[in-house]
């Protein structure tokens, strides 16, 4: 009754003019609806909104206390072999922790799952670039690498917020929200010869 979770398509802002937030306010007739967290414009997947201020304050508390599990899928450049692994590289002098697991890999790219323990700006993108496996299509964090021909065609960062697990008030067990991979992500999995998981 207090929250809405959407599967945000790529190319849409979380909030601001012409955003997922403003569209949902109109669609649901809820002028007080607000995004609890953010996804980058080109990141797809699970995005949580609170229907009113009290619900927003409760959910922000859950995120602050790190009681929300956030799991992402990403396509990255290069053959990632050493996983599961944990990346603990501070971002803007603040603790930042990402847990990685390889789902499939070949000579060009890897399909990885990531669990974000902390919530720093662009954390997953920055951590993957820092360890030498930038997200495909991520123009901001490619690290100046020259990509093989086909990989230059990737139209957006291949990053998807697959799952949110939320211990919502009044629920007997945590609420598990899953957003299926979008079509463009599945297309690039296939083009790269990586197995969906």
Q: Which phi and psi (to 5°) does residue 7 adopt?
A: -100, 90
Q: What span, in angstroms and rounded, lies between the C-alpha atoms of 60 and 16?
A: 19
Three-class SS state of 164: strand
Angle at the Cα of 106 (from 101 to 108), degrees rounded to 5? 110
Q: How many helices (H) and strands (E) does the chain have?
A: 4, 9
Q: What span, in angstroms and rounded, lies between the C-alpha atoms of 97 and 117?
A: 5
Residue with tokens 């609420």: 175
Q: Which of 40, 42, 138, 184 is catalytic?
A: 40
Question: Is residue 138 flagged as an active site residue?
Answer: no
Q: What DSSP line would sit under 44-75, residue for residue? A: EEEEEEESSHHHHHHHHHHHHTT-SEEEEEEE
CA 34 to chain centre: 18
Three-class SS state of 106: coil
Q: Which residues are catalytic?
A: 40
């Amino acid at each position: 009754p207090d929250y809405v979770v959407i599967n945000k398509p790529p190319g849409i802002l979380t909030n601001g003019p012409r955003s997922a937030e403003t569209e949902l306010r109109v669609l649901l007739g809820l002028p007080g609806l607000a995004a609890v967290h953010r996804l980058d414009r080109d990141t797809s997947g699970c995005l949580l909104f609170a229907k009113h201020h009290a619900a927003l304050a409760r959910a922000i508390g859950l995120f602050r206390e790190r009681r929300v599990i956030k799991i992402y899928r990403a396509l990255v450049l290069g053959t990632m072999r050493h996983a599961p692994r944990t990346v603990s590289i501070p971002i803007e002098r603040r603790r930042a922790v990402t847990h990685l697991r390889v789902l499939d890999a070949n000579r060009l790219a890897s399909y990885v799952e990531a669990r974000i323990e902390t919530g720093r700006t662009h954390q997953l993108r920055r951590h993957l670039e820092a360890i030498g496996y930038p997200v495909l299509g991520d123009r901001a964090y490619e690290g100046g690498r020259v990509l093989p021909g086909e990989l230059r065609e990737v139209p957006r960062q291949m990053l998807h917020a697959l799952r949110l697990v939320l211990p919502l008030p009044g629920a007997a067990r945590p609420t598990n929200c899953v957003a299926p991979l979008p079509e463009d992500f599945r297309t690039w999995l296939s083009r790269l010869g990586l197995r969906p998981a």
